Homo-oligomer: A and B are copies of this chain.
């Protein structure tokens, strides 16, 4: 997701595609049939989708959105409206569900952690369902649904995969399950930060806490829109070929509600971390001040006494006393002990 990109459209006519940028990346197209036959990068032009669909569902999986021309070709083949195509290519688009009598469109983000860069990534994914055809458009070069596909191919799979709607559900469900993984990761970060704040109260963790906050903010935006989109999908206006699928979407909705709750908890915990960190910083300062005060409170009066007997008055009788020096040293010792006791009673160390 590149939030910065969106605004470049400003001033363009709606539905107009920015073809100049299409050279940069690669776009792979995959065609998967219910029978299990997979075609990599087929010749889109000569493809007969109508004929295909009779043999069960067909899945067009577009991986990478950089080759805008190719994406556009696929879009034309499956008769996408130009505004939908625009939504597909706008990688910062918020989650949305849109439907008409003909088609269902679901936009969401596939979240994962890029562990090398320690970065939260949100890959733009668009699902388009029309009769028995499902088309998915994924940002990034990796196919996020590889492992899910393997399960589908497995003949013992419990999934009743005879319907494109079920596939539509599976892809959404699989994507939302990723949010649990992300939440788990976030929870670990929060807990380890809490441990550091508890055990090493001198370490200022403000930057880590801010990073956590940023991630919560980003995820919350996604999850809230996802929740609204799924709620819309579940409304009675939306008609499914097989209405029993509705129960599965209700289940997905429960999941996203759970993720939303986890995020709220994470938010509360992040605020608690911030409070803890502030408390630590204040305590650390407090300890520094106490050390200074203890040292100063003990030694400044003693130094003053030493200063008195360092004066050069001619007539200072104590200076001539034989026991003057040890007496003064003893006085100083008594004073110091008294000071230490006084400070200790105040509970400073």
Contacts and interface: CB of A to CB of B under 8 A. Distances in A.
Interface of A: 3-4, 6-7, 9-11, 13-16, 81, 83, 92-94, 96, 147-148, 151, 157-159, 170, 173-174, 177-178, 180-181, 183-184, 187, 198, 202, 204, 206-207, 210, 213-214, 217-218, 221, 225, 247-248, 251, 254, 257-258, 261-262, 264-265, 268-269, 272, 274-279, 281-293, 295-297, 299-304, 306-316, 318-325, 328-329, 346-348
Contact of A83 (B210, B213, B251, B299): B251
Contacts of A7: 177, 180-181, 183-184
Nearest to A289: B288
Nearest to A194: B210
A251 B251 CA distance: 29
Contacts of A225: 261
A290 B288 CA distance: 6
A241 B151 CA distance: 43
Contacts of A348: 288
Contact of A177 (B9, B93, B147): B9
A261 B221 contact: yes
Contact of A180 (B10, B300, B307): B10
Contacts of A306: 304, 307-308, 310-311
